[in-house]
């Protein structure tokens, strides 16, 4: 769809409007509304997140990382609600209601934020999961006291990448830091796949749901919304291209986690399962988004995560709306 269409002049910059509460913010892309809903902030040590980088390596990025190598302000965990042609499509489902040790004990607020913003979870008809990391699926299952599980968004189909699903439930997925598989033995996967292990508790609950649709590759959700494969961070990672009335936007997922990666797209994080493919996808995606002036919705960038990628004299950089 529009993501691959020829270069043309960038559309006028959309205006961000805030709904109550302030951490729901909205832009219009043609006839499409995109709402950014902040689930929580995660404290992240950049020196741990970017392997082999020391605090000095981050000084070039103008205050994005502090002197203790902590990401300034933490990493936002945003979910995007896209309204298109009468449909309500939620992209990603945050950390969930339970404190997550891997996120510094943070828990999400997505449902309360939605309710305070006047968004009934029952009106969501589709949930697109960019990938199966724990900070993107936490709100999907709703475990009940009797041991059963129901969907948190009961009227929605959950669109999940097949390749990530296959990896999450692969018996050879490491279950321990020493690389031992779920069923014992050597793991064929790189160390980054350990992050998948943190998704297993929610994944096991998701297995009990009957509203999951596994997808592989391109898929049009509406005439205005297309799922686009962007593999590398995970094998099945997917993004969403929005095109309406000549205006375009792109919901990035975790192709990049921080604005600094736009300047250094060859920097992988410790969570990138296929690092070389991740670099290739990041370079190609960021170049297209910059060249074509496409509005970007980046869930881990500072809230609300709407902006453009600008080509500077020597490097590209992030320009928030
Ligand atoms: Zn993430």
Span from the CA of 254 to the centroid of ligand 1 (angstroms):
6
Span from the CA of 245 to the centroid of ligand 1 (angstroms):
30
What is the per-residue burial (b if ≥16 Cβ within 10 Å, else e) of 82-119?
bbbeebbbbbbbbbbbeebeebeebebbbbebbeebeb
Q: Which two tokens stand for residue 201?
A: 């508790």
pLDDT for the residue 100: 85
pLDDT for the residue 102: 81
Span from the CA of 286 to the centroid of ligand 1 (angstroms):
17
Q: Which two tokens stand for residue 235?
A: 């094998």
pLDDT for the residue 197: 81
Span from the CA of 266 to the centroid of ligand 1 (angstroms):
18
pTM for the full predicted model: 0.91
Q: How many CA atoms lie within 13 A of 292 on its CB side?
A: 22
pLDDT for the residue 295: 98
Using one digit for the tens of pLDDT, what is the confidence trace for 207-250? 999 999 999 988 999 999 999 999 999 999 999 999 999 999 99
Span from the CA of 211 to the centroid of ligand 1 (angstroms):
23
What is the per-residue burial (b if ≥16 Cβ within 10 Å, else e) of 160-192?
bbebbbebbbbebbbbeeebebbeeeebebeeb
pLDDT for the residue 14: 66
For residue 53, count CB atoms less than 10 angstroms from its CB and return exposed for 0-12, middle for 13-18, buried for 19 or more.
middle
Span from the CA of 82 to the centroid of ligand 1 (angstroms):
19
Q: If you search the block for the tokens 């020196």, which residue do you land on? A: 47
pLDDT for the residue 187: 60
pLDDT for the residue 124: 98
pLDDT for the residue 16: 59
DSSP 233: S
39/75 Cα distance (integer angstroms): 11
Span from the CA of 195 to the centroid of ligand 1 (angstroms):
10
Span from the CA of 8 to the centroid of ligand 1 (angstroms):
31
Q: Tell me the domains of the chain and their CATH numbers.
A: 12-231 (3.60.15.10)
Span from the CA of 146 to the centroid of ligand 1 (angstroms):
31
Span from the CA of 303 to the centroid of ligand 1 (angstroms):
14
71/69 Cα distance (integer angstroms): 7
Span from the CA of 29 to the centroid of ligand 1 (angstroms):
24
List, edge to edge, every strand of the sheet that includes 316-320.
219-220, 225-229, 238-244, 247-251, 295-297, 306-311, 316-320
pLDDT for the residue 181: 46
Span from the CA of 251 to the centroid of ligand 1 (angstroms):
13
Single out the residue of 42, 119, 117 nearest to residue 83, CA to CA. Answer: 119
Q: What is the pLDDT along the chain (321 residues), one digit of tens a residue?
A: 444 544 445 556 666 555 444 578 999 999 999 999 999 999 999 999 998 899 999 999 988 999 999 999 999 999 999 999 999 999 999 999 988 888 878 899 999 999 999 999 999 999 999 999 999 999 999 999 998 999 999 999 999 999 999 999 988 776 543 344 454 455 667 777 778 888 999 999 999 999 999 999 889 999 999 999 999 999 999 999 999 999 999 999 999 999 999 999 999 999 999 999 999 999 999 999 999 999 999 999 999 999 999 998 888 999 999
Span from the CA of 6 to the centroid of ligand 1 (angstroms):
30
Query: If you write DSSP's letter for every residue of 41-107 in order, what string do you get?
Result: EE--BHHHHSTT--GGGGGGGTTSB-TTSBBTT-EEEEEEEEEETTEEEEE---S-SS-BGGGTTB-
Q: If you search the block for the tokens 């697109």, which residue do you land on? A: 128
Contacts of 75 (CB under 8 A, 6+ apart): 41, 42, 43, 44, 257, 258, 300
Q: Which ranges in the chain belong to alpha helices (H)? A: 46-49, 110-116, 162-168, 194-197, 200-206, 260-263, 275-291
């Amino acid at each position: 769809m529009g993501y691959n269409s020829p270069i043309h002049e960038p559309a006028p910059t959309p205006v961000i409007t805030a709904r109550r509460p302030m951490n729901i913010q909205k832009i219009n892309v043609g006839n499409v509304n995109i709402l950014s809903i902040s689930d929580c902030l995660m404290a992240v040590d950049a020196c741990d997140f970017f392997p082999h980088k020391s605090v000095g390596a981050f000084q070039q990025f103008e205050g994005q990382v502090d002197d203790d190598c902590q990401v300034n302000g933490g990493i936002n965990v945003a979910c995007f609600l896209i309204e298109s042609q009468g449909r309500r499509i939620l992209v990603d489902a945050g950390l969930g209601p339970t404190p997550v040790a891997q996120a510094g004990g943070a828990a999400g607020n997505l449902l309360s934020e939605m309710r305070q913003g006047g968004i009934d979870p029952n009106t969501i008809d589709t949930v697109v999961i960019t990938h199966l990391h724990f900070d993107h699926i936490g709100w999907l299952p709703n475990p009940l006291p009797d041991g059963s599980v129901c969907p948190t968004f009961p009227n929605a189909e959950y669109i999940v990448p097949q390749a990530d699903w296959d990896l999450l439930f692969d018996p050879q997925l490491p279950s321990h830091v020493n690389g031992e598989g779920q069923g014992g033995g050597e793991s064929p996967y790189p160390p980054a796949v350990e992050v998948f292990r943190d998704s297993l508790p929610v994944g096991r609950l998701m297995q009990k749901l009957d509203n999951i649709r596994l997808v592989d590759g391109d898929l049009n959700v509406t005439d205005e919304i297309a799922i686009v494969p962007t593999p590398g961070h995970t094998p099945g990672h997917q993004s969403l291209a929005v095109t309406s009335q000549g205006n375009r936007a792109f919901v990035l997922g975790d192709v990049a986690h921080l604005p600094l990666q736009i300047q250094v797209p060859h920097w992988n994080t410790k969570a990138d399962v296929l690092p070389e493919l991740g670099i290739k996808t990041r370079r190609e995606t960021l170049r297209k988004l910059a060249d074509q002036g496409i509005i970007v919705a980046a869930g881990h960038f500072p809230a609300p995560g709407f902006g453009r990628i600008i080509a500077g004299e020597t490097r590209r950089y992030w320009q928030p709306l």
